[in-house]
Structure 1
Amino acid sequence: MTGAKLVIEQLLEEKVTHVFGYPGGAVIPLYDALYDVTSLKHIRTTHEQHAVHAADGYARASGKVGVAIVTSGPGATNAVTGIATAYMDSVPLVVISGQVPRALIGRDSFQEIDITGVVTPITKHAMAISSADELAGAVSSAFRIATEGRKGPVLIDVPKDVFTELTTQKVIRRESHGMEMQTINYYQLNKVADAIAKAKRPLIYAGGGIIHAQASELLLNLAEKLDCPVVNSLMGLGSIDRTHELSVGLVGMHGSVAANLAMTQTDLIIAAGVRFSDRVIGKPKEFAPSAQVIHIDIDPTEFGKNIEEDYSLKLDIKTAFKCLLKRFDQMEHKIWRREIKRLSLVESSSDKSIEQYMRIIARNMGDAPVATDVGQHQMWTAQYYPFKRSRQWLTSGGLGTMGYGMGAILGAVIASDGPGVLITGDGSFRMNMPEMMTMKQHNLPVTVIMFNNKTLGMVRQWQALFQEKRYSETNLDDGIDMCAVIRSMGVQSHSVSTPEALETALKSPPTGPRFIEIHLDPNTGVYPIVPPGKAINEMLV
């Protein structure tokens, strides 16, 4: 068979049902091999970046590996931001890029670029293929690498003539990916258990690694057994039901008052699947000054990277939580929980209508996947949306990619085979608006809710607070009627200015894509906010 046919057969062996991409000259043979395959659905986006974001959203929502196909040259470079986004958030992807024929490599040929060199720092592995005989093994290895240990993207770069080359290589039988042998350090584990038992004000800091490890149920079991409050990193939202009495919410630069002060007052942090990013720790020397820190992660390179830790456990989080659950009877921390409840009564100066909007969206959308772009709307969603489950929340946390959300929710609704919602801002929406056409083409039940304050809101807020209101290049008030633009695509659209009007616009379930614009005052801000260079308890509320 041809190399292209072998790639398709190996993808089917890996149980792939959907791929996202955009055709071009170097991948024509691969698309030709795909033409007659009905069991592998291809979704063509309007841009390669959004194809990779869609594969990313598919992976986050399903827990499977997302797959994208792009052509050589600009097709491959267009995919770079999507790959970097997935890398920073540990999302398992396999990206197949076309390359110029082997005889033309190194000659500055049309649409030639060394894409493996470009993406090496932002992938777990990047492979340059030189023979069709390598393809089955490369695809099989890519799925294994993407899912073992800390998850992430893998790129396979294939010259066009390798796709057309004949090979006698057979499909490689699918491996069981994702788990490696766990070596448990019981001496260290016992020390950790002793520290937990002695703590008076323990706090679980839950990150995205819990979701990747499918350990949300165990997190809840551990929190309830230890009677221990839970704060979340941005990527960890959804790992515990936000309405649960032990859930304190988002911690960090735009974290809740209760979460940030709890992190400052705790005497023991059980951190699981987190990076201790700069947006959470603020001033490293003033972070959790009275706390011992237990850090559980599958990736040992995270240990001690940003803060000093007392105990480090290199374990799959599921394994670690199971071991800890066996070591404790029911505990009680009533006084500590009462203090956190008191802290949660402190209100921020945020516009109260924002929380109303979020509650209305949640009430009407149920547990449908929720994607955001990046900016004020992202932080409002993180602060106020009552996430019920893991894999419900999709956002770009590490890279902060404006334009991420449209592709992500596209992939998520295909993975979940149900409705989804994108919460975005007018700045981000300008970066991914064409994907509304993809939504329309496939009649996907996506509700796009755009907060329109006619400005780059987060940048403008920083200019107001820290740059003496010098609003340089953040005004987006150009008179464009977004609803009219979307209606021209054949998509239902509404423009609202009150929570009551939003409730009316959402009253019927979506049968296809729909667009709702919410008008906001440009001075509407995100609070709390931790100013640059300050500790996380030094919030502007």
Structure 2
Amino acid sequence: MAQEPMLGAKIVLKALVDQGVDVIFGYPGGAVLPIYDELFQQNHIKHVLVRHEQAAVHAAEGYARSTGKVGVVLVTSGPGATNAVTGLTDAMLDSVPVVCLTGQVPTHLIGTDGFQEADTTGITRQCTKHNYLVKSPNDLARVMHEAFYVASTGRPGPVVIDLPKDVLMTKGEYMPPTRIKHKSYKPQVKGDLKRIEEAVALLANAKKPIIYAGGGVVNSGPAACQLLTNFARMSGFPVTLTLMGLGAYPGNDKQFLGMLGMHGTYEANMAMHDCDVMLCIGARFDDRVTGLLSAFSPNSKKIHIDIDPSSINKNVAVDVAVVGDVAHVIEDMTKVWKSAQIRPDQDALAAWWAQITEWRAVECLKFVQDGDVIKPQYAIQRLYELTKDRETYITTEVGQHQMWAAQHYRFDKPNHWMTSGGLGTMGYGFPSAVGVQMAHPDALVVDISGEASFMMNMQELATAVQYRLPVKIFILNNRYMGMVRQWQELLHGSRYSESYSEALPDFVKLAEAFGAVGMRVEKADQLDDAIRAAIATNGPVLMDICVSQTENCYPMIPSGKPHNEMLLGPVADGEQAIDAEGQILV
């Protein structure tokens, strides 16, 4: 039986409900007022009023990444849509499923430079997985349901739906999602069995294997992460993870070598360089992982598993490529491995682990906390020790603090680590934490931040206070744009051009001005009590942790260098660094 026609705005809301949406993040404006009017008249979906549209997308990203669901954003036309572009690009590069509803001027005004008009579909074409401009209310239901399908299948990503105001105010027919089937977009889920058998054969004969996994494993779901863990333990192979993949494999497991890449561990990068067979699962050979491409893992056979065929052979030529969802592919690999009763060369594997043990003995993440001045690594370590037994979700901004968090906070399960990887967006962490806390109201959510990044979206303190979200903001305050300062020191003759903050707010008073709790920690022996007090506080807390201003983040692969040429840290005089072979670099 056909349903009665309904207003376009109501079709939008009904489609959201039928897609299982329970919260959206947005900011109203004239073009989307019909949707806000429908929101007012229903109780199925909660709306979170952010203070900036960029923050709305980051909050939706945090919600999506911590739940595995699609995050939903609602913004108005013109500046509402353009303010969302940074978040959309961030979601695109990090493969986060987001549906962003943008207002648009009425159809008859499109192209006239009307008030708050922008070519939203044109602007967002390159930073979304797909976008739509809806010109008829009868197309609304189909587009809404298609958008959720596109955003969440294959390699996930953001989808924009541009909604002219007259379409929202005109009646059309609603169709349930069961009646919508996309005609052309059908991602390959099952991997080619022949390619899988070739991959297993390569792994079976490996003498120095390594498993290199990324965010695609997390996106595939908890089952994929468990399958990865089972396969690694069955094979006995070492595992390393990308920044986006942290949590896909238990961070405390003895086979885990730590994160790899520009600020990855010595053992992970050296093992990647010297391996003879590399199994890449759900990662894309990003430049921050490979370093100098021509010198990347020069003597290895490479296997690449990814659901996105465009990622295969894009940056690194591989020997065996398997297109498919990683959960299905790993499951089939395990079946092939077991049916063939494969047992790798145990002597060779033992020798490989002995070499890895030597690399581990370098203790590349070692630091010394001495005196009152707080080392940022120590602050992260204490945060980890005091929160590891709780259901804790960590978000970060971008910079040194992000890398220290990745190095020193151990993640044993997926979907608990939210950070901006591909785009490196300062201001991501706090609104992302707002989205995570909305999804997990009873969990501990901590945004590990730098003072410069926090100030990019600090207005969201008002959001956290309004919705009584007990997010904890853990600022490592060194008064510098730390990673910029580090590069200026190491690569630009210590010429600190515009990287020092001459003026900063009193973060304690700033928190109090918004109605939150502020704390300042200036000495190392104050950290534990402050962290415990913040956790015990029923509401948002801003912690201003005053850390060493000149601490650098090591290990580090200098830009343009191969991944086995690493700066491991300062020598005795504090002004030089040593590379992977122990040579002093001035």
> Hey, what's the Cα distance between the residues in 1 that align with 2:98 and 2:365?
40
1:338-349 matches, within 5 Å, as 338-348=354-364
Quick check: 2:376–2:401 contact (8 Å CA) kept in 1? no
Task: Identify the residue that residue 200 of structure 1 maps to in structure 2.
Answer: 207
Quick check: 2:465–2:514 contact (8 Å CA) kept in 1? yes
Task: Identify the residue that residue 449 of structure 1 maps to in structure 2.
Answer: 474
Task: Identify the residue that residue 386 of structure 2 maps to in structure 1.
Answer: 364
> Hey, what's the Cα distance between the residues in 2 that align with 1:351 and 1:368?
25
Does residue 190 (structure 1) correspond to residue 205 (structure 2)? The answer is: no
> Hey, what's the Cα distance between the residues in 1 that align with 2:527 and 2:180?
48
- Pair 222,153 (structure 1): closer, same or farther in 2 beyond 3 Å: same
* Aligned partner (choices 284, 293, 296) of residue 305 of structure 2: 296
* Aligned partner (choices 211, 216, 237) of residue 209 of structure 1: 216
- Pair 350,343 (structure 1): closer, same or farther in 2 beyond 3 Å: closer
1:288 is matched by which residue type in structure 2?
S
Does residue 532 (structure 1) correspond to residue 559 (structure 2)? The answer is: yes
SS of residue matched to 2:455: helix
Q: Report the count of equivalent residues.
A: 541
Quick check: 1:101–1:159 contact (8 Å CA) kept in 2? yes
- How far does residue 354 in structure 1 lie from its aligned partner after superposition? 3.2
- Pair 340,43 (structure 1): closer, same or farther in 2 beyond 3 Å: same
Task: Identify the residue that residue 71 of structure 2 maps to in structure 1.
Answer: 66
Does residue 34 (structure 1) correspond to residue 39 (structure 2)? The answer is: yes
> What do the CA deviations read for 1:401-437 (whole angstroms, capped 9, x no partner)?
0001111111111112222000000110110111111
Quick check: 2:376–2:476 contact (8 Å CA) kept in 1? no
- How far does residue 174 in structure 1 lie from its aligned partner after superposition? 7.7
Does residue 273 (structure 1) correspond to residue 282 (structure 2)? The answer is: yes
> Hey, what's the Cα distance between the residues in 2 that align with 1:135 and 1:275?
35
Q: Which segment drifts farther, 501-510 or 226-235?
A: 501-510
- How far does residue 351 in structure 1 lie from its aligned partner after superposition? 4.7
Quick check: 1:58–1:415 contact (8 Å CA) kept in 2? yes
Task: Identify the residue that residue 411 of structure 1 maps to in structure 2.
Answer: 435
Quick check: 1:241–1:247 contact (8 Å CA) kept in 2? yes
Quick check: 2:191–2:325 contact (8 Å CA) kept in 1? no
- How far does residue 335 in structure 1 lie from its aligned partner after superposition? 2.6
- How far does residue 43 in structure 1 lie from its aligned partner after superposition? 0.3
Quick check: 1:256–1:528 contact (8 Å CA) kept in 2? yes
Quick check: 2:142–2:175 contact (8 Å CA) kept in 1? no
> Hey, what's the Cα distance between the residues in 2 that align with 1:426 and 1:55?
23
Q: Which segment drifts farther, 426-435 or 495-504?
A: 495-504
- How far does residue 341 in structure 1 lie from its aligned partner after superposition? 2.3
Task: Identify the residue that residue 523 of structure 1 maps to in structure 2.
Answer: 550
Does residue 136 (structure 1) correspond to residue 153 (structure 2)? The answer is: no
* Aligned partner (choices 430, 443, 446) of residue 455 of structure 2: 430
* Aligned partner (choices 215, 226, 240) of residue 249 of structure 2: 240
Task: Identify the residue that residue 399 of structure 2 maps to in structure 1.
Answer: 375
- Pair 246,496 (structure 1): closer, same or farther in 2 beyond 3 Å: same
Does residue 473 (structure 1) correspond to residue 489 (structure 2)? The answer is: no
- Pair 172,241 (structure 1): closer, same or farther in 2 beyond 3 Å: closer
> Hey, what's the Cα distance between the residues in 1 that align with 2:195 and 2:488?
47
> Hey, what's the Cα distance between the residues in 2 that align with 1:230 and 1:435?
37
SS of residue matched to 2:305: strand
- How far does residue 479 in structure 1 lie from its aligned partner after superposition? 4.9
1:1-80 matches, within 5 Å, as 1-80=6-85
* Aligned partner (choices 493, 505, 518) of residue 530 of structure 2: 505
- How far does residue 248 in structure 1 lie from its aligned partner after superposition? 0.7
Q: Which segment drifts farther, 493-502 or 294-303?
A: 493-502
Quick check: 2:276–2:299 contact (8 Å CA) kept in 1? yes
Q: Which segment drifts farther, 135-144 or 413-422?
A: 413-422
Gaps of 5+ in 2: 1-5, 369-374, 569-586
Task: Identify the residue that residue 416 of structure 2 maps to in structure 1.
Answer: 392
- How far does residue 102 in structure 1 lie from its aligned partner after superposition? 1.4
Quick check: 2:365–2:407 contact (8 Å CA) kept in 1? no
Quick check: 1:13–1:174 contact (8 Å CA) kept in 2? no
- Pair 296,3 (structure 1): closer, same or farther in 2 beyond 3 Å: same
TM-score where L is the length of structure 1? 0.97
Does residue 113 (structure 1) correspond to residue 118 (structure 2)? The answer is: yes
Task: Identify the residue that residue 334 of structure 2 maps to in structure 1.
Answer: 325
Quick check: 1:140–1:174 contact (8 Å CA) kept in 2? no
- How far does residue 305 in structure 1 lie from its aligned partner after superposition? 1.0
- How far does residue 147 in structure 1 lie from its aligned partner after superposition? 1.2
SS of residue matched to 1:54: helix
- How far does residue 190 in structure 1 lie from its aligned partner after superposition? 1.6
* Aligned partner (choices 256, 261, 282) of residue 252 of structure 1: 261
- Pair 349,386 (structure 1): closer, same or farther in 2 beyond 3 Å: closer
- How far does residue 175 in structure 1 lie from its aligned partner after superposition? 7.0
> Hey, what's the Cα distance between the residues in 1 that align with 2:451 and 2:51?
19
TM-score where L is the length of structure 2? 0.90
- How far does residue 510 in structure 1 lie from its aligned partner after superposition? 3.8
> Hey, what's the Cα distance between the residues in 2 that align with 1:476 and 1:385?
27
1:445 is matched by which residue type in structure 2?
P
2:332 is matched by which residue type in structure 1?
C
Q: Which segment drifts farther, 362-371 or 246-255?
A: 362-371
Q: Which segment drifts farther, 250-259 or 340-349?
A: 340-349
1:484-495 matches, within 5 Å, as 484-495=509-520
2:412 is matched by which residue type in structure 1?
K
SS of residue matched to 1:431: coil
> Hey, what's the Cα distance between the residues in 1 that align with 2:189 and 2:70?
22
Quick check: 1:446–1:510 contact (8 Å CA) kept in 2? no
> Hey, what's the Cα distance between the residues in 2 that align with 1:503 and 1:425?
19
> Hey, what's the Cα distance between the residues in 1 that align with 2:487 and 2:209?
34
- Pair 258,242 (structure 1): closer, same or farther in 2 beyond 3 Å: same
> What do the CA deviations read for 1:66-90 (whole angstroms, capped 9, x no partner)?
0000000000000000000000001
SS of residue matched to 1:20: strand
- Pair 321,12 (structure 1): closer, same or farther in 2 beyond 3 Å: same
> Hey, what's the Cα distance between the residues in 1 that align with 2:194 and 2:113?
58
> What do the CA deviations read for 1:346-401 (whole angstroms, capped 9, x no partner)?
13477543333222212333341100010000010111111121001101100110
Task: Identify the residue that residue 371 of structure 2 maps to in structure 1.
Answer: none
Task: Identify the residue that residue 123 of structure 1 maps to in structure 2.
Answer: 128
Quick check: 2:146–2:180 contact (8 Å CA) kept in 1? no
Q: Which segment drifts farther, 95-104 or 348-357?
A: 348-357
> Hey, what's the Cα distance between the residues in 1 that align with 2:334 and 2:144?
38
Quick check: 1:144–1:175 contact (8 Å CA) kept in 2? no
> What do the CA deviations read for 1:146-174 (whole angstroms, capped 9, x no partner)?
11211101000001111111123344438
Q: Which segment drifts farther, 81-90 or 339-348?
A: 339-348
Quick check: 1:230–1:248 contact (8 Å CA) kept in 2? yes
SS of residue matched to 2:96: coil
